[in-house]
Amino acid sequence: MDELIRANRRGAAVKLFMRKGVGLPAPVVAMMPMMPAWSKLKSVAHTLPYDTILTIGQQKGSKETLKKWSSVSVPTLVAVGGKSPEWMRNSMKELAQVLPNATHQVLPGQTHIVKPAALVPVLVEYLKG
């Protein structure tokens, strides 16, 4: 990915991240350049190496890698889209079990890119607490 970024091959870096990092099927990744958000994704491609470094250890949802968060005692909402990849749903479930004051919420019908209309009511209800 770093080589692709250095070579200014931003689209290729995004495709690599989506395929290998996120786990999207190859046909979906191949269609991404036709989507309206493609230019935005390419514009932040330079951040993908940092995203990967910060999240790669947590993506599988293993309690061993997530236990470092067990000292976070503030109330926390751990929300995940119900249509997110299985590894992401599992990771969020495990994170909520590790955090001492967490509430786990699955947002039905949502992917990793949660629509504001689905998230706002959940946040409002949680913050009313």
Phi, psi of 80 (to 5 degrees): -150, 145
81: nearest Cα among 51, 65, 56, 104: 104
Q: What is the pLDDT of residues 23-79, one digit of tens each?
A: 788 999 999 999 998 999 999 999 999 888 877 766 666 677 788 889 999 999 999
Q: What is the pLDDT of residues 72-104, one digit of tens each?
A: 999 999 999 999 988 889 889 989 999 999 999
Residue appearing with tokens 């940092």: 50
Phi, psi of 35 (to 5 degrees): -85, 150
pTM above 0.75, yes or no: no
Band (22; pLDDT cuts 50, 70, 90): confident
pLDDT of res. 61: 61
Fill in the DSSP letter of residue 128. Answer: H
Long-range contact set of residues 39-42: C-beta below 8 Å, sequence gap at least 24:
41/14, 42/10, 42/11, 42/14
Distance in angstroms (rounded) separating the CA atoms of residues 90 and 7:
35
